[in-house]
Amino acid sequence: MTTAASPASPAPAAPARTVLAQFRSKDGEPTGPPLQLPVTTTAKELALVLNQLLANDEPLPYTFTVDDDEILTSIDHDVLTKQQKSTEATLIIEYTPQAVFRVRAVTRCGATMTGHADAVLSVHFAPDSRTVASGSGDATVRVWDLDTATPKATLKAHTNWVLCVAWSPDGNTIASGGMDGLVCLWDARSVKGTATKPLAVLKGHRDAVTCLAWEPMHANAACSRLASGSRDGTVRIWDTKSRTTEFALAQHTKAITCVKWGGEGLIYTASRDCSIKTWSANDGKLVRTLAGHGHWVNTMALSSETLLRTGPYDHVSAGKKWSNATEAAEVARERYRTGHKGAERLVSGSDDFTLFLWTPSASKQATTRMTGHQALVNHVTFSPSGARIASASFDKSIKVWDGFTGKFLFGLRGHVGAVYQCVFSADERLLMSASKDSTCKVWDLRTKKLKGDLPGHADEVYAVDWAPDGERACSGSKDRSLKLWRQ
């Protein structure tokens, strides 16, 4: 007699593979205990775990990296397989907060704004994103109404090229610096037509004024102090209310190329003498000299710059009115306190093809020397949170670096001429660049690829700015026009 064979019992399921992971913030602090996570854990699931560890009331978005490789799919796909790591080792997962809002890429020209009679050299949005000011080789500053794309005012006081324009953080005053050595102040609230007289013409420089920087609003509610740098080798600190020079910073030996007013009581100056100097904003005393570059220092940026530039205005407060300057300054102070963690960082770019990352309040030694560009570095900028740095070079490329360590992350190629300037979107997911090749380009920093071409200018594009609220961008060209780019 035969008996039926008993059915085979199923093989036991293989245990799910796991890995020991430790979350760590960008400033190196561990968050929570090491956790045993499935290797299939996705970025979304990591965000859920991290939000619980941080006890966030509202879940916040984050990006996660292991040794600079971002986790986009899963730990297994993006780390273990790609980096050939063992599940035996503890993974250090670095997290970076992302903006809770999203900026859509500008994709089309909303308006071409004409009127300047010479090249547009400088473009700057007001802190509330409602207006833009431009400086030109025709010796005028124009203030543009962005709703109608027409000039609100043409400001005439300079006798030569206007090289730089800068809005005070409260949005009430525009400063302009010119080849004529003058600094002009304009009341942004009342400018209209072509007959507007300046609030003041500040005289003292013996050569062209190349750069301007206002004292941050959280340190000065009245927004009454301004720094101007000149080819005469000096930086002057002005009291804009009394219209006098408080003091001059005069220890550079060659032309000043860039000035930044930091959030921690320091003023930073860069020069063709190859050095950067840090000064006390209170009394003008030299604090330290940052040496390292082998050629002219062309450009600098601060990790706190977006907060300092926009004062009380965040991405949703365009058009908001404050009851008084004290209230606005309090909002600016709170934005700075919560938005900027750790010591202020400075990045510099030079004709020697390199960048340096510094923590000037702590040391005169550079944190990192950043190499890779094959021609001079014309412009550097920090992302709004300070997590990334972008550099624009005459080698036709943009490079993106880690804002804390200076480590190279990736390059962006596509321009066929020198890249003059670049600017992050308010949510730092996008970057816009302006080039000698007559185009602007928008780059997606997640895919590390070109998001869109913005042709239309008939000549080199010297200047670009993205509104702090992310809604529009503006470029200025040698073709004498500005273009307003929309989503």
Number of helices and strands (H, E) in the chain?
4, 37
What residues contact 88, with CB distance under 8 A and at least 6 apart?
none
Contact 399, 393 (CB under 8 A): yes
What value does the mean pLDDT take over residues 447-451? 95
Whether residue 433 is predicted with pLDDT greater than 90 in this model: the reply is yes
Return the pLDDT at 317: 60
Whether residue 6 is predicted with pLDDT greater than 60 in this model: the reply is no
Q: Around 223, how many Cα atoms within 13 Å sit in the side-chain half-sphere? A: 27
Per the prediction, the chain carries an average pLDDT of 92
Whether residue 2 is predicted with pLDDT greater than 70 in this model: the reply is no
Return the pLDDT at 338: 86
> In the chain, what are the domains?
18-97 (3.10.20.90), 108-486 (2.130.10.10)
Return the pLDDT at 319: 58
Instruction: Report the C-alpha gap between 292 and 270 in whole angstroms.
Output: 12
Instruction: Report the C-alpha gap between 390 and 410 in whole angstroms.
Output: 10
DSSP 216-257: PTTT-TT--EEEEEETTS-EEEEETTTTEEEEEE---SS-EE
What value does the mean pLDDT take over residues 445-453? 95
DSSP 157-192: --SS-EEEEEE-TTSSEEEEEETTS-EEEEETTT--
The pLDDT tens digits of the residues spanning 130-142 come to: 999 999 999 999 9
Beta strands in 303-362 (DSSP E): 346-350, 355-358
Q: What is the pTM of this model?
A: 0.86
- What is the biggest distance separating any 2 CA atoms in the chain, rounded to whole angstroms? 117
Instruction: Report the C-alpha gap between 171 and 447 in whole angstroms.
Output: 35
Task: Give me 267's structure tokens.
Answer: 């003023």
What value does the mean pLDDT take over residues 83-112? 85
